[in-house]
Structure 1
């Protein structure tokens, strides 16, 4: 009988799962806070905010856009929408990393079971589960970050979380689409603008990210001791591995993210109707060809390197701290 198979637990360890979830949630919050200013600028570029389109298309433009925000609104302007980000990121990252650990253990209980396909499936499943439960919070965060003094004449330059949620809820009164009865019967659907393309986009992003994470760790780190499924790693190794994973995943999934942002702000740019994702894809392409799907990617790379590095390193460090 093989000694490489772990004994089955008699009951589910809820205490361990809670610690795994908290470790993942805190790691996500730490990472997002590090890159919050760049995240806001990237959203403004992706969603074609009219106040900042003149800066789009260059690395230096991102810093000039940030300087304008800082000059007009100070540090609070650079962190606009960050409260909603943390409200979303903690459950999102917590669910994502917890789900990954659970699916990983189910598909790959020992190192002998690890394959690139299973690593991809585990990452894709964890991303899909976390997006489903936290997408409304993501939509509200994007609305808060997109909002500027010229996007609406009826509100101030800064939106609170509650104000943004109310605006989303009230949208669509004048829609002339066959989907209008659905929104009247299920107003919660208004908080899922762009959800389908997000779900499609999270599969390559999370799948590729965790595939790269598992592959690099299995390649770089020494094999585990006999009878163990854990590999020792240093914070520096976790930082470097997480950074590479983020760059690869961001590049693969970025076009989906651009389309998703356009759909999420559709209630502001086209309040009279519901924009379908196929229509949004055509609109993005008509605006600038295939390059339009990569607007803001350079900012994404600048952001994703520290964010993913910190996220994965903090996740591993907190797991060690919480003994999971």
Structure 2
């Protein structure tokens, strides 16, 4: 490499580089989530065992009929309920995730020769855990908004879920019915971290496998000895992103089902914190091992295009922002 080429390489630890990679990741996350928001709404209803929609769970036609019912009763707004909270969460979440991945990748694998699958996995896992730690309360609020299919009634008037309204309702949830010594009365912010431990446990295989697949497939199919020195195309990014989504979703899906059930625990058991063991037992008793994969087919339909679009837009924005 010539001195001029070396000097043209960006400083990956500079503030400008970090901000640009964060913006690229945030935009990618918002675009990808908007594409699949209606599918996400239906999947949450299935995963959390919403009683109004359990009759549709388990088939692609059921997902279509569930979406059709939501549309008939609430229009397009019903399909995108909770999406405002999604965007508020996903921009910082995706920005932190991709930014943390770039930094972890540079720290663990500063040169191409040092890239290994275990290091790719570690970089992805670190980025996923870091991002979810800072944005988890926003995800819980989004899930609660998506779970509620009937508006609450106050003074005879229906109150449709809103981001601030749902957050306020969750903060006050059980305030008068719980004993003063209750953990939720002493630390009300814990209500916004229901299911956090299982989320972290699921994020490690999801983000780790996702970025491992992304890095491995790009190095295998797009290495210079196979493509010369042509830059990767958006179509290549799209296909590799889709394949990464399939492997990551398969590896982490049971954790996602457990997490959704724990996140809506404020509606089913507002008096206390739901534990892993009782959530897993409840799922097993009601549906056996299949209960941990309810909605997986719909999950593929959602995650594959979402991951593909996310990685593609991320790479496109990085090229546009010269990072």
State TM-score, norm by structure 2.
0.92
Q: After the TM superposition, which residues 180-195 of structure 1 pair with which residues of structure 2 at under 5 Å, given as runs?
A: 181-195=182-196
Indicate conservation of the 8 Å contact 2:12/2:103, yes or no.
no
CA contact (8 A) 1:80 1:158 kept: no
Work out the CA distance in 1 between the residues paired with 2:230 and 2:18.
20
**2:275 aligned with 1:273, yes or no?**
no
Residue 54 of structure 1, CA deviation: 0.6
Q: CA deviation at 1:170?
A: 1.3
SS at 1:74's partner residue? Answer: helix
For the residue of structure 2 that corresponds to 1:273, the secondary structure is: coil
Q: How does 1:276-287 map onto structure 2 within 5 Å?
A: 276-287=275-286
* Residue 184 of structure 1, CA deviation: 2.3
Residue 275 of structure 1 aligns to a residue whose secondary structure is coil
Query: Does 2:195 align with 1:172?
Result: no
Is residue 124–residue 208 contact of structure 2 (8 Å, CA) maintained in 1?
yes
2: CA distance between counterparts of 1:292 and 1:11? 44
1:217-236, aligned counterparts within 5 Å? 217-223=218-224, 232-236=231-235
C-alpha separation between the residues in 1 aligned to 2:182 and 2:15? 41
Query: Greater CA deviation, 257-266 or 158-167?
Result: 158-167
Residue of structure 2 in register with 1:26 after alignment: 27
Alpha-carbon displacement from aligned partner over 1:172-217 (angstroms, at most 9, x marks no partner):
33347xx954322321111000000001100000000000000000
Pairing of 1:119-134 with structure 2 (within 5 A): 119-134=120-135
The Cα RMSD (Å) is 2.2
1:249-275 deviations in Å (ceiling 9; x for gaps): 001100000000000000111223321
| Aligned counterparts, 1:136-147, within 5 A | 136-147=137-148
SS at match of 2:224: coil
**Relative to 1, partners in 2 of residues 1:41 and 1:106: Cα closer, same or farther, differing over 3 Å?**
same
Once residues 316 and 158 of structure 2 are traced to their aligned partners in structure 1, the CA distance between those partners, rounded to angstroms, is 41
The Cα of 1:231 is off from its aligned counterpart by 7.7
Match of 1:161 in 2: 163
Following the alignment from structure 1 to structure 2, what is the Cα–Cα distance between the partners of residues 75 and 10? 45
Question: Is 2:11–2:17's contact at 8 Å kept on the other side of the alignment?
Answer: no
TM-superposed CA distance for 1:11, in Å, is 9.9
**By how many angstroms is 1:163 displaced?**
1.0
Aligned CA distance change for structure 1 residues 10 and 26 (closer, same or farther; 3 Å)? closer
- Extract unaligned runs of 5+ from structure 1: none
Matches for 1:1-324 after TM superposition, within 5 Å: 12-149=13-150, 156=158, 158-173=160-175, 174-175=177-178, 181-223=182-224, 232-324=231-323
| Secondary structure at the counterpart of residue 286 of structure 2 | helix
CA-CA distance at 1:224 after TM superposition: 7.7
Displacement of 1:157 in angstroms is 6.7
Cα pair distance change 1:68/1:253, threshold 3 Å: same
Q: Secondary structure at the match of 2:258?
A: helix
